[in-house]
Chain A
Amino acid sequence: MERCRIFATTMLAALCILLSLIKPQADTVLTAAYATAVKEDFPATGPVSGMPAELLQRYSVNNPKDIGILVPGLHLPDYGASLTSSIYVRGFGSRMENPVIGLYIDDFPILDKNSYDVDYLDIAGIRFLHGPQGTAYGRNALCGVLSIRTRRQEGLQARLEYGSGQTVRASLSGGVGRHSFSATYRHTGGFFQNVYSGKMCDPYDGGQFRWRWEKPGTEWTLSNLFQAALSREGGFAYGAWKDRQLQPVNYNDEAGYRRLTALEGFKARFRHEKLTLDLMASLQLLHDDMRMDQDYTAESIFTLQQRQISGAQTFEAIARPARQIGHWRPITGFFGFFKANRMQAPVLFKRDGIRKLILDNANAGIPDEIGVLDIPDTEFPVNSTFDILSWNAALYHESEFVWGRWHLTAGLRLDYEGAWMGYDCFSSLHYQMIPYMPAAKAYQDTYTGALRHGSFQLLPKLALQYDGPGRWHFFASLSKGYRAGGFNTQIFSDILQNRVMNGLMEDLGVYLDKPMVSALADRTEYQPEELWNSEAGFRYRDKHFQAQASLFWAEAVNQQLTVFPPGMSTGRMMTNAGRSRSYGTEMQVLWHKNGFNAQASWGWNRARFLQFNDGQADYAGRRIPYSPEHTLFAAAGYEGARWALEIHLKGTGPIAWNEANSLIEPFYLTLGARASLQFPRFRISLQGENLTGTRYRCFYFKSMGNEFFQLSKPVRITLGIQFSVL
């Protein structure tokens, strides 16, 4: 914390010095060698939501969770901590494991979801490609791709903000010659108090640095991107839901998240008279540490720590002819990655947890006249260490055929992904059967082994576009995407817990009529999820008005869903348990004239399970939980040379919080506004989010039979100043 404050103070001091060198803001340029992301050259065969830098600034988009509502059908709830990047699109998504969209920064795929949520700075634009993009983007591009382009800066720009929750944000960016850099720091005191400790439970301190280098050339264009982010935060502001009332956040054990994430990416574009070749390689690092009061109560039940360090390397090559060959525009690519991850995830059972989760369960099956089992330890650990290697190789091709106003695109990707996991789990405790054992006896258990899986995917795409009269474009497409499989590492502590209890009973010579059943490691893998999507719609664009609308129909097979494994009291695990269908519509309109602007987007879906039994009930026909049925964004404003004013409404819901659909979040609206004054040398802005103070619930889960929610953040007001120097 102290280091972060020193860093912030240094930043602010630097800003004060720079203020003395103020020059009028004028010369922000966007002359990047890569004016667009490489894959933006691929034919857009479906709806695309584009968000240029001006739009991101207008709506104060500072991180991925701010984007969600701008894009119809995309929902990125703001809860937990930075690692909880749950993403829902068109009814699909899950709070655990792999996301349903791919995230790309300057053409480099971000492989770890824990690295998704970082503060944005110097963004040239963001594009969201709706629907499966499996052919061009491969793994996890099941429901779309979010592509972020950073921009090259010249001169020096600074920004300073102060707002609700004692939030301070300071950033500095600039460029000299071929080099651009930016740095940002954010401190938040927090919005939620933990009544147990009396402290705010969600403070945040984090900084990010980015350096970008480009060398344009007639034959070779080279570019390098390095970014690193370091943060320390609290989080997990979950309160119990009792008697239909939300209780305050009240837990006794430490909870928080620390993260270091880094990306080094290098791109080279070779232009030949017959061929354009793009080569992209990246190295990615993630080192994080999450601590969680797993029961979220004031009792000492159990805690979880998850530390991981992972490194990944990606490589992609894309080749295309320099010019169209007759009616034909082919693009061919190769992609591969290798990732190594070591994760340590110790679960610590504390006194109340030993009693409630273990002894009460065990003694329930032992009659009083036989005795009472006791574990006298004040706490006992269940340690798990996982070494996970994963790799992927893919070859893909897309051909676009152009005949007059008609465009036919056909593509196919052959994708292989494999993974290996070694697990090493250990637990140790003392036990005593009262009254027969005179003293406690030590017991320990180890559980080691390795798992491996791999599978091929064929990801086709077929699309037709018609450039209609005027500025109308009509499109229809059929495509497939997949979400990678994986391992349920989080269930191993439950497996070991059950093994310990069964082993301990066997050691005692006691055999329950209904022994505790446990999942085995080889049943904890889950396979890829596949989604077929058909889509039809139109785009319209003229000088002042843009519109886009589409209808989609998507079917997911081998759907990755969380289920209750047999015999587990606390854990849930991902498995390929179901089939689902979602259909709906997404619309966007944008209008601007003489400084006035208006924008609206709306997404609606009807997403239902066709087949899903979680081991306790059948949910066929129920709405897929956590994903909203509607997303709505509407904004209007004026932006002149001296001042700007903008108001917007964000709407989301209804959201089913469980598979039974017995708990529903109604549709809610929040109001935001932004006003700014432009002076010759600087700009001052005042913005507000959730001005109506709407308190909606943004996350739900159940643990040990208790239900929990996280509430939305309250009214937030931010005052900011932005200026250019040098």
Chain B
Amino acid sequence: MKRNILALLLTLAGLCACYKAPQPDEVPQNSLYVGTVSVEYDGGVYENPDIQVACIPSADGKTADIVIYKIKFVPKMPVRIDVTIPGVKVTSLQDGLQLSCNDITPLALGGEYPKYQVYDLRGSVTDDKLSLSLLFGEYPTRFSGTRL
């Protein structure tokens, strides 16, 4: 009987070892968030509602590319563009992920897009939410969205 109880305990211990508890510091693959991008310009704020932002982690999980789809920086801009911020540093925290980078040239229009150089990017991924704040060139920009 004792042997059986011991075997059962060992089996349960083995099963417990196989179970991997959810890790708050993992970025779900190709997560897509939707929310509002706010751009400060000429003393006002231009809000882009329903903007989709993707967070695409690298293979080692240490960096991620942030892709902002169909964004306008100022209302008079006659086109919307996709902008990618490559190589954003990812740091695991107790309650999620922290995103950060400084002085990165974004990618847009098929190549590097220095006009909107990214400075002082800070962001976080917690539960189903993504928030970002950064300087796109001279424009302070914020995003807050929930996962699709």
Contact = CB atoms under 8 A, between A and B. Distances in A.
Interface residues of B, number: 16
Given A369-B115, A511-B70, A433 B110 contact: yes
Interface residues of A, number: 18
A217 B111 CA distance: 84
Interface in B42-96: 69-70, 77-83
A371 B109 contact: yes
B112 interface: yes
A366 B108 contact: no
Interface of A: 365-367, 369-371, 432-433, 436-438, 441, 508-513
B79 A366 contact: yes
A508 B115 contact: no
Interface of B: 69-70, 77-83, 108-113, 115
Nearest to A373: B109
Contacts of B82: 509-510
Most chain B C-beta atoms within 10 Å of own C-beta, residue among A369, A432, A511, A513:
A511
Nearest to A514: B78
A102 B14 CA distance: 88
Nearest to A437: B110
Contacts of B77: 367, 370
Contacts of A511: 70, 79-81
A438 B109 contact: no
A438 B110 CA distance: 9
B79 A367 contact: yes
Nearest to B69: A509
Contacts of A436: 108-113
What does DSSP make chain B's interface, helix, strand, loop or mixed? strand
Contacts of A433: 109-111
Given A365-B79, A367-B79, A370-B79, 4 more contacts: A367-B77, A371-B109, A510-B80, A510-B109
A441 B110 contact: yes
Contacts of A432: 110
Nearest to B76: A367
Contact of A367 (B78, B80, B111, B112): B78
B42 to A, nearest CB: 16
Contacts of A508: 109-110
Contacts of A441: 110
Nearest to A367: B78
| 9 smallest beta-carbon distances between A and B, as pairs | A509-B82, A436-B111, A437-B110, A511-B80, A433-B109, A436-B109, A433-B110, A437-B111, A371-B109
Nearest to A513: B78
Most chain A C-beta atoms within 10 Å of own C-beta, residue among B79, B80, B81, B82:
B79
Most chain A C-beta atoms within 10 Å of own C-beta, residue among B80, B81, B108, B111:
B111
Contacts of B78: 365-367, 512-513
A437 B109 contact: yes
B80 to A, nearest CB: 4
Nearest to A441: B110
Nearest to A371: B109
Contacts of B69: 509
A508 B113 CA distance: 12
20 contacts: A365-B79, A366-B79, A367-B79, A370-B77, A370-B81, A370-B109, A371-B109, A432-B110, A433-B109, A436-B109, A436-B110, A437-B110, A438-B111, A508-B109, A509-B81, A510-B80, A510-B109, A511-B70, A513-B78, A513-B80
Nearest to A505: B79
Most chain A C-beta atoms within 10 Å of own C-beta, residue among B79, B83, B109, B110:
B110
Most chain B C-beta atoms within 10 Å of own C-beta, residue among A365, A366, A508, A509:
A509
B49 to A, nearest CB: 16
B79 A510 contact: yes
